[in-house]
Chain A
Amino acid sequence: MANAAQPCCARCMRFVDVTRLGPVQTGSELRLGLRNLYVLPTRFGALWLAGAALLQMVGIQTQRNGPLLLSFLMLALMLLALHLTHFNLQGLELQSTEPRPGFADEPLRYPLQLRSDCRREAICLQLENGEPLQPQRLDPGITRVGLSWNCSRRGLQRPGPVLIRSTAPLGLFLCWSRWQPSWEQAVIPARRQGPVGSAGADQPERSLADQRIGAREGSEHWHDLRPHRPQDSQARLAWKALAQGRGRLSKVFRDEETETVVLAPEPGVPHERALQHLSAAIWQLSQRGERYGLRLADTLIPPGHGREHRDRCLLALALTS
């Protein structure tokens, strides 16, 4: 159905897209060379060739040197462009590096490292079904780029083949190669607002609001008084209350940051949708600096906070069965 919805010209262009020709190279590294680079004239190159052929024919028919000279000049330039375009990509080394996790339904960045021993012009890189990078010049040395692509499924996903192509220097030939990098990228469920269940690590499930009210003791803010226990510190003893004859009481303090919630999929919500809600909730709690944990069917992450903890929870969402 998606193909039928495309305009006819778009389908034709896809059909004549010559960069889909040739086998896809695999591996964590690729060095472009004679065995994995393909060259064909561009549309402008084909017109150029047709013009040269026309002039050749007219020159032969009219027995004049002018058109012949011009046609030979055009053909020589074309022959030169063939090699120059090929040399522009030959010897370039591509290497994939470990990609960072990203969210589904949002642009993902797939990192690549390009090593070149000379300057190269107008190199275009594109992931299949991704957005192409602007043609860029590569200076000698190592260049790092991030290719954009989209994915709607969570888990470890591999983007389509990388297409590297160039028409430099004259635009008469297109030289390309296709390569499937080996690294998989972790795709976290898309962030969608919705109900989120919560469960203690060893407690029956209860609501998110209830659990956020119950917080652990700390030392930041005074909260309440309670009967003094022998193991309580003398520093916590409420001397004023003792002087008033109210008995030995201990002061109870509470840290705001110790409010803890253990997130879990909301019962009754489809599993994938529940994971998306969890993804949004984890992101929000992390932005607010709150403590939270995560309990999934096969994973229990104890409460914590910080960027590493957030990434761990999000990764667990991406990889859960």
Chain B
Amino acid sequence: MALPSRRLQWLAQAVLIAGCVGLDPGWLLGGFTLALVLMAGLKLLEARDRTGRRLVALLQLVGCGLLAAQQPDLLPSLVQLLAAVLCSCWCLASAPWAPGSTAPAPVPAPA
């Protein structure tokens, strides 16, 4: 099973940024949400290993929840749902057991 492409996370990030349009950065929650989404994007740029990218997925998931608190209309809700599904998929698919399992190590020959 191959790891989900990094593009999936970028897609979730794009959906989140689209959802941020119309947020009021002056409001505490709005500013916090924007900062969180921005931080997730920067971390996604920097992350090379699976652990870092899982953290990005978690940040995106929390960002979705914060967006949902500020934009309860139908269309933003659908966008948030899409982003949440993408983030959750990435979180589950990048679980430690998925691609990292290896065959049992052979018992080495004695000296």
**Is the pair A67, B66 in contact by a Cβ cutoff of 8 Å?**
yes
Q: In the complex, what distance in Å separates the CA atom of A109 from the CA atom of B29?
A: 56
Contact of A66 among B51, B65, B91, B111 (CB under 8 A): B65
Q: In the complex, what distance in Å separates the CA atom of A93 from the CA atom of B35?
A: 49
**Is the pair B105, A133 in contact by a Cβ cutoff of 8 Å?**
yes
Say whether, besides A44-B54, A67-B68, A109 and B100 are in contact (CB < 8 Å): no
Contact of B62 among A51, A143, A145 (CB under 8 A): A51
**Is the pair B95, A136 in contact by a Cβ cutoff of 8 Å?**
no
**Is the pair A121, B101 in contact by a Cβ cutoff of 8 Å?**
yes
Contact of B61 among A44, A74, A145, A168 (CB under 8 A): A74
Which residues in window 97-130 of A have CB below 8 A to B?
Answer: 100-103, 106, 109, 111, 121-122
A146: chain B residues within 8 A (beta carbon): 105-108
Q: In the complex, what distance in Å separates the CA atom of A26 from the CA atom of B107?
A: 23
Task: Tell me if A71 is interfacial: C-beta within 8 Å of chain B.
Answer: yes
Task: Tell me if B15 is interfacial: C-beta within 8 Å of chain A.
Answer: no
Task: Tell me if A200 is interfacial: C-beta within 8 Å of chain B.
Answer: no
**Is the pair B108, A70 in contact by a Cβ cutoff of 8 Å?**
no
Q: Mark A211-236, 1 if CB is under 8 A from B, else 0.
A: 00000000000000000000000000
Say whether, besides A64-B69, A170-B92, A121 and B97 are in contact (CB < 8 Å): yes
Q: Which among A66, A135, A146, A170 has the greatest number of chain B C-beta atoms within 10 A?
A: A66
Task: Tell me if A263 is interfacial: C-beta within 8 Å of chain B.
Answer: no
A203 to chain B, nearest CB (A): 32
Q: Is the interface of B mostly helix, strand, loop or mixed?
A: helix
Task: Tell me if B80 is interfacial: C-beta within 8 Å of chain A.
Answer: yes
Task: Tell me if A48 is interfacial: C-beta within 8 Å of chain B.
Answer: yes
**Is the pair A58, B111 in contact by a Cβ cutoff of 8 Å?**
no
Say whether, besides A134-B102, A136-B103, A122 and B97 are in contact (CB < 8 Å): yes
Task: Tell me if A144 is interfacial: C-beta within 8 Å of chain B.
Answer: yes
Which residues in window 43-89 of A have CB below 8 A to B?
Answer: 44, 47-48, 51, 54-55, 58-59, 62, 64-67, 69-71, 73-74
A74 to chain B, nearest CB (A): 7
**Is the pair B58, A171 in contact by a Cβ cutoff of 8 Å?**
no
Contact of A44 among B58, B72, B100 (CB under 8 A): B58
Q: In the complex, what distance in Å separates the CA atom of A122 from the CA atom of B97?
A: 5
Task: Tell me if A167 is interfacial: C-beta within 8 Å of chain B.
Answer: yes
Task: Tell me if B34 is interfacial: C-beta within 8 Å of chain A.
Answer: no
Q: Mark B63-77, 1 if CB is under 8 A from A, else 0.
A: 011111110100001
Q: How many residues of A contact B (CB 8 A)?
A: 42
**Is the pair A55, B102 in contact by a Cβ cutoff of 8 Å?**
no
**Is the pair B111, A102 in contact by a Cβ cutoff of 8 Å?**
yes
B100 to chain A, nearest CB (A): 6
B96: chain A residues within 8 A (beta carbon): 122, 135, 167-168, 171
Q: In the complex, what distance in Å separates the CA atom of A143 from the CA atom of B62?
A: 41
**Is the pair A135, B65 in contact by a Cβ cutoff of 8 Å?**
no
A16 to chain B, nearest CB (A): 17
Q: In the complex, what distance in Å separates the CA atom of A54 from the CA atom of B58?
A: 12
Task: Tell me if B104 is interfacial: C-beta within 8 Å of chain A.
Answer: yes
Say whether, besides A66-B77, A168-B95, A145 and B66 are in contact (CB < 8 Å): no
Q: In the complex, what distance in Å separates the CA atom of A144 from the CA atom of B58?
A: 37
Q: In the complex, what distance in Å separates the CA atom of A146 from the CA atom of B103?
A: 13
Contact of B105 among A48, A136, A168, A171 (CB under 8 A): A136
Contact of A51 among B51, B58, B68, B105 (CB under 8 A): B58
A138: chain B residues within 8 A (beta carbon): 104
A102: chain B residues within 8 A (beta carbon): 110-111
B residues bordering A, Cβ < 8 Å? 29, 51, 54-55, 58, 61-62, 64-70, 72, 77, 80, 84, 88, 91-92, 95-97, 100-108, 110-111
Could you show 7 A-B contacts with beta carbons less than 8 Å apart? Answer: A54-B65, A66-B80, A70-B61, A102-B110, A134-B102, A136-B105, A169-B95
